[in-house]
Amino acid sequence: MIGAKLGSWILEKSLGSGGMGTVYLARSSSANAPGSSSAKRAAIKVMAPELAVDSGFLARFQREIDILGQLDHPNIVRFHESGQQNGRPYFVMEYVPGPSYESLLIERGRLPWPEVLELAWQIAPALKHAHDRGVIHRDLKPSNLLRGEREDPGGDPTPTRLVKLTDFGIASLFASPHLTVTGGIVGTAEYLSPEQAAGKPVTRRSDLYSLGVVLYTLAAGRTPFEGEPLDLLHKHRFAQFDRPIRLLPDMPHELDEIICDLMEKDPSKRPADAAVLFRRLDRLKHKLAYQATQAGGVGAGNTSAPSAAASATRSPLNAEGPATLMSRLMRQELERERSGGPVRRFLHRPSVLVVLLGLTLGLLAWSFWPLSAETMYQRGAALMQSDNPDDWETAWDKYLTPLLDKAPETAHRAEIERWREKYEEARAARQSVRAARAAGPMSEAQWFYQEGLRLRQQGDERGAKRVWKALILAFQEVPSESAWARLAEQELDKETPKRQWSPVRRAMRRASELRQQGKEKEASEIVEALKELYRDDKEAKAMIVKE
């Protein structure tokens, strides 16, 4: 289509292609008119012809137009106009000549943390602008962040880079109906939030998680999690990552904390919204700018931490040497001591400091002094009497397990073993509830894979293998389902696992206890329920009758 005319625009070259179409660099045809000083340029997204006949894709393309039309922010690519030519919809948006951050990452390996901080500081207000208008981006990643430049009014030879957020192709409107398949996962696996990975609804905080992954990736030079798409979905939901500061020791602790807070698994533990995030980033920038002015003699009017640090680096002749800087800092500290109040002057006396140091060391030694076996038992026992299962977990992990390691022949062994059963049952129940809540709608291949697991659990090994073999033949070449075909192949290679009958035995033991208490009706109900659950399982039915 190079050279073609769309409305008042002439296409000059292709800038890239995506799932919905191609983006072209275009110039305004009015630029050729007499008296025109320069060509006005723009980026034009043209829908792929094979998708333009599909009503679903047309609706999605129109939704991107509607979303961009609502947004007007310096850090979001601006929308100009839209139209249709020869049955192909298109829309015109601001052209950003700078590279994407994905290109910068490939070129440079990783970005210095001041640049990462600057990017976050600019994108947080852009997200707030979008979220305030009911728009969630849902696909934040380095390739959707473009770097441009803006003129610096002060004549700075290294002007601040203006970051632009683009590609709202899969963004969602809070009030709009979903145009994707129910339960489907939309986005890029490396940057998905845990709730997106679980197929749950997205929120503003989903974008904040993805932004945290972007910042981590740009600073560290790699994503926090790596693997196949299915593995990545699992890792975003359950795995832990190395803190950025472990990979980048020179990163400020505050920036490390911000990135880790953004990447909390629980959305409620992330910043409340993009405005809260921006305030934290802004405070950090001002703090770093102040430190730069104090250390490097930079003018106090500069409020940009990276710019201040860069200015100090560019002016080595004006910077203080290490000896001069240390001398000035020591004079300031002595002056603060002399000018402090009576309490502060008292606390600075050597004898007082020695006493305080001794008390501190004593408290530390006391806190780390090992507990006696009886103390561990008493504390664990008190927690096990609670009605809160969280207290049982604390009791077992903090006191009872160490007690059994320290004194395996303790006189309280029998009672501790009863508590172990109580704790493990509660933990199993909680895990079951979490798994049930996290489970979303299954794909076809996933359903048949789990059907094979159910047949194996019932002792029908032949039926399980029959289902898995059919699953492999049917879906191994379907990209969205091939992961389940691989899992089915792994199950076929496994030996038949032994059945775990302990829950059934516990239920039968409970029925026996009820009979001994004269509660025949309640006992019979448990036995009949087990028979109903295992009516097609000969091995289980035989065990229930035997019990």
Q: Is 163 helix (H, G, I), strand (E, B) or coil?
A: strand
Q: Are the beta carbons of 380 and 399 closer than 8 angstroms?
A: yes
* 126, containing H or E segment: helix 113-132
Q: What is the dihedral of CA 259, 260, 262, 266, to 10 degrees?
A: 170
Q: Of the listed 66, 72, 132, 139, which one is catalytic?
A: 139
The position carrying tokens 């070259």 is 13
DSSP 61-75: HHHHHHHHHH---TT
As a whole number of angstroms, the distance between CA 243 and CA 366 comes to 31
CB atoms within 10 A of CB 144: 22
Write the CB contacts of 76 (distance below 8 Å, at least 6 apart in sequence): 126, 129, 130, 164, 165, 166
Strand (E) or helix (H) holding 255? helix 253-262
How far is residue 531 from each of residues 415, 429, 515, 525, 546, measured CA to CA in Å?
Answer: 32, 22, 18, 10, 12
Distance CA 249, CA 466 (A): 54
Kindly give the residue spans of alpha helices, DSSP state H, lying in 369-443: 373-384, 389-394, 401-406, 413-438
* Residues 68, 93: Cα–Cα separation, whole Å: 9
Give me the half-sphere count of Cα atoms (radius 13 Å) on the Cβ side of residue 499: 18
156 as an active site residue: the answer is no
Q: Which residue has the tokens 């008493």?
A: 378
Given CA atoms 41, 47, 49, 53 in this order, what sign does their dihedral have? negative
Tokens standing for residue 207:
């974008």
**Distance, CA of 543 to chain centre:** 46
DSSP code per residue over 443-485: PHHHHHHHHHHHHHHTT-HHHHHHHHHHHHHHHTT-TTTHHHH
297-319 b/e (C-beta count within 10 Å ≥ 16 → b) = ebeeebebbbbbbbbbeeeeeee
- Alpha helix stretches (DSSP H) within 263-372: 274-296, 305-314, 322-339, 342-347, 350-368
Residue 80, both tokens: 């100009």
End-to-end CA distance of the chain: 78
In whole angstroms, give the CA distance from residue 427 to residue 124.
39
Residues classed as catalytic = 139
